[in-house]
Amino acid sequence: MKLLLVCTCLLWFFTANAQTAKPAFVDTLEKKLAKTGDGIVKLNALSHLSDYYQTADPKLAIKYENLGLTLARKLKRDSDLCMFYGYLGETYIYAGDIKNGILVCSQEFALAKKNNYETVESLASSDIGLAYQMHADYPKSQDYFFRALTFAEAIKNRLLMSICYVNISSNFFNQDNFDKTIFYSKKAQEVCKTLKVNTYNVQAKAYELIGSSNLKKGKYAAAQDCYLNGLKIYQKNNDDNGVGIMYTLLASTYPANPAKQLEYGLKAQAIWDKQGPQNLYAISNLGNLGSTYAAMARQQKANNQIKNSLYNKAESYLLKAIDVAKLADSKQNIIFFTDSLAVINAERGKYKDAYTNLVSHDQLSDSIYSQDSKNKIAALEGKHDIALKEKEIQINKLEIANQKKQQWFLVAGLLALLLIAGLIYFQSLQRKKTNTTLLFLNNELDEANKIKTKFFSILNHDLRSPIASFVNFLHLQENAPDLVEGPAGQTYSKKATLAAENLLHTMEDLLLWSKGQMENFKPSNHMMKVEEIFADLRTSLNPPDNIQLFFEQQHGMQLNVDAHYLKTIIYNLTNNAIKALGTSAGGLITWRAWEEGPQKYLSITDNGPGATQEAFRALYDDAAPIGIKSGLGLHIVRDLAKAIGCQLLVNLNQGSGVELQLKFS
């Protein structure tokens, strides 16, 4: 019995997200989406929901994807706009809406090209290639697959390259070029071996294509081994969509055993009824079930009632397969199953229906499987090979040019050696003069160190005396409270208070001196992950029980900044927020980090009583009063922010907290 064997290209995001049950994180994301007013948080939730529902519920996926597009446009985030175009286009294609799939993916490609997102250009080209493949326009499909491969090779993205190899392989299979099919599938498997990420989709699809090529060659055992390998991979990764594909294909490895075909076909159909009836494998499985029932009817010789019942089932499945194929515009399925239906019509004496189906089959088949189409696909592959050769020639020319440059560098090097010898002699003369100067400077440095030591000794004495007085008063108050009562106690209390005030003034002088020294320091910038900065703050601070500290950041966000300067700013602002909340119950402090185009932001928000603009004058006015009681900490925050090129923004909500933003260019 002849069964239809269909291989489509790898639609990466669909098979990767097939689930057996709705996971808990989906409910969490939907609740978060309904409650949050933060645009970035909403985009993140919509992204995960679109990704999940592509296979679980395509209609719901389209709803979330359109919401994501609207929000991304509003926030003017082109990268997110590309992402949701990709999700929406893939969902349309997977659901069989080829026209809208191509339209949306073309918009994704145009936006990616405008922003030079080469990875997205490759993905969009692959999706458009898939759409044309499902439409049985193999030359256009292969053209887009090779475009995707060119983009992937340019950015050296081996994961995308492996996907492109599988997609190209599937097109060669649909054109009955089985040697090329096996060649590109094995190239995909070789690339997967070099990758650390989970590429089970690519590996399973490669097994599928190699198995299908062996099946076309009549090597049923070899085909069955490949399909079973693919089935194990999909089952291991809980991919129902992939399991359905392998059940559909395994049915075709039992050409003389209709019972086995029916067993695997019904297993597959149970999955396709849940996953969606309009993908190519689901359509193929419907038609193959019809062909299986027809084969069983032919074997039924004794009981005409059973025979007619089997023929009726066969026609029912084939008609349903053809109807769904027309909805999905799957010409290959229409061709194959109209031919199968014509044979059954003829066997049952319905010659007019058989003739009609046969004519439809021949007309559509001639338009797709013409030699001209095959020649176009071969030309596309040759065009890609020629482009690679031209690149090799350019590389060779560059190597020759580099060799000539090296020769000139050697000549220049000899001249430089002569010049260096002269410079060394000149430097030896200058060194004597420099040594004399250094000796003088060292003497001055030694004198400065002595002065610094003397300064800290005096400072230690000035700090120790008032602290000792205050501690003695506390001990006296604890051990002999009767001595601190009356006029004598009041006198001693005043002295202790005076000592504490003197200590405060001394510390103020020290802070002002330290602040003045900031002019002699420069920040040392390097890339820092925001999540690491927040983690350090989380472990370093221990807020009171009445205050909760929350952190939200965009995943993977980094800042090019001096870590010590930034941490000092963050600690100072956090402590100020804690002081502002005081002992009020239900205190909340939230640190957030996000990106808007080239700008990066950190913000701290509290739900305290709020403040006036004057309270934060020190953050933006260099002429603001300086002193312990007037906010020296804010002066330090202002100066540190200037040093690292950070702009401070204050949003006041009188009676409902304060928000401070740090804006980095």
Do 183 and 167 share a domain, yes or no? yes
CA atoms 426, 431, 432, 436: torsion sign = positive
Do 611 and 648 share a domain, yes or no? yes
In a domain, 382, yes or no: no
Strands 526-529 and 599-606: unpaired
- Note the pLDDT tens digit of each residue in 330-377: 777 788 888 887 888 888 888 887 778 777 777 777 766 654 555 555
- Give the Cβ contact number of residue 573 at 10 Å: 24
Q: How far apart are CA 457 and CA 388, in angstroms?
A: 75
Strands 547-553 and 587-596: parallel
Residue with tokens 């957030």: 592
Q: How far apart are the first and last CA of the chain?
A: 68
In a domain, 121, yes or no: yes
Is pLDDT at 517 greater than 70 in this prediction?
no
CB 14, CB 21: distance < 8 Å: no
Do 310 and 169 share a domain, yes or no? no
Number of alpha carbons in the 13 Å side-chain half-sphere of residue 145: 30
pLDDT at position 15 is 41
Q: What is the CATH number of the domain that holds 565?
A: 3.30.565.10
In a domain, 482, yes or no: yes
Q: Helix, strand, or coil here: 592?
A: strand
Domain final residue pick, 221, 238, 255: 238
The better pLDDT of the pair 577, 382 is held by 577
DSSP state of 609: S
Domain final residue pick, 339, 369, 399: 369
Which of 17-26, 57-66, 513-522 bottoms out in mean pLDDT, i.e. has the lowest?
513-522
Q: What DSSP line would sit under 258-316, residue for residue?
A: HHHHHHHHHHHHHHHHHH-TTSHHHHHHHHHHHHHHHHHHHH--S-HHHHHHHHHHHHH
In a domain, 91, yes or no: yes
Q: Six-digit token pair at 248? A: 């559909």
Do 20 and 128 share a domain, yes or no? yes
pLDDT classification of 1: cutoffs 50, 70, 90: very low
Do 209 and 289 share a domain, yes or no? no
Residue 602: phi and psi, rounded to 5, are -120, 145
Q: Mean pLDDT, to the nearest integer, of 407-423?
A: 85
Do 559 and 621 share a domain, yes or no? yes
CB 131, CB 331: distance < 8 Å: no
Report CA 519 to chain centroid distance, whole Å: 42
Partnered with residue 650 across adjacent β-strands are: 660
Domain final residue pick, 519, 546, 573: 519
Q: Six-digit token pair at 647? A: 């702009």
Q: Mean pLDDT, to the nearest integer, of 97-126?
A: 91
Q: How far apart are CA 243 and CA 240, in angstroms?
A: 5
Do 25 and 128 share a domain, yes or no? yes
Residue 587: phi and psi, rounded to 5, are -70, 135
pLDDT classification of 69: cutoffs 50, 70, 90: very high
Q: Six-digit token pair at 72? A: 């991304």
pLDDT at position 363 is 73
Among 547, 23, 11, which Cα is nearest to 281's?
11
Domain extent at residue 269 = 239-369
pLDDT classification of 231: cutoffs 50, 70, 90: very high
What type of residue is 439? L
pLDDT classification of 504: cutoffs 50, 70, 90: low
In a domain, 383, yes or no: no
Partnered with residue 662 across adjacent β-strands are: 602, 648
In a domain, 376, yes or no: no
Do 69 and 106 share a domain, yes or no? yes
Do 294 and 430 share a domain, yes or no? no
Report, in angstroms and rounded to the nearest whole number, the Rg of the chain calculated over CA atoms: 38
Do 203 and 267 share a domain, yes or no? no
Q: What is the CATH number of the domain that holds 353?
A: 1.25.40.10
This model's pTM is above 0.75:
no
Q: How far apart are CA 72 and CA 93, in angstroms?
A: 22
- Structurally, how many domains does the chain consist of? 5
In a domain, 633, yes or no: yes
Is pLDDT at 658 greater than 60 in this prediction?
yes
How far apart, in Å, are the Cα atoms of 70 and each of 30, 118, 155? 17, 23, 30
Residue 181: burial class (beta carbons within 10 Å; 0-12, 13-18, 19+):
buried
In a domain, 186, yes or no: yes
CB 86, CB 12: distance < 8 Å: no
What type of residue is 130? L
What type of residue is 409? F
Strands 599-606 and 547-553: unpaired
pLDDT at position 225 is 94
Q: How far apart are CA 542 and CA 429, in angstroms?
A: 61
DSSP state of 624: S
CB 144, CB 126: distance < 8 Å: yes
Do 116 and 165 share a domain, yes or no? no
Q: Six-digit token pair at 652? A: 């006041």
- Note the pLDDT tens digit of each residue in 533-562: 888 888 777 788 888 899 998 888 899 998
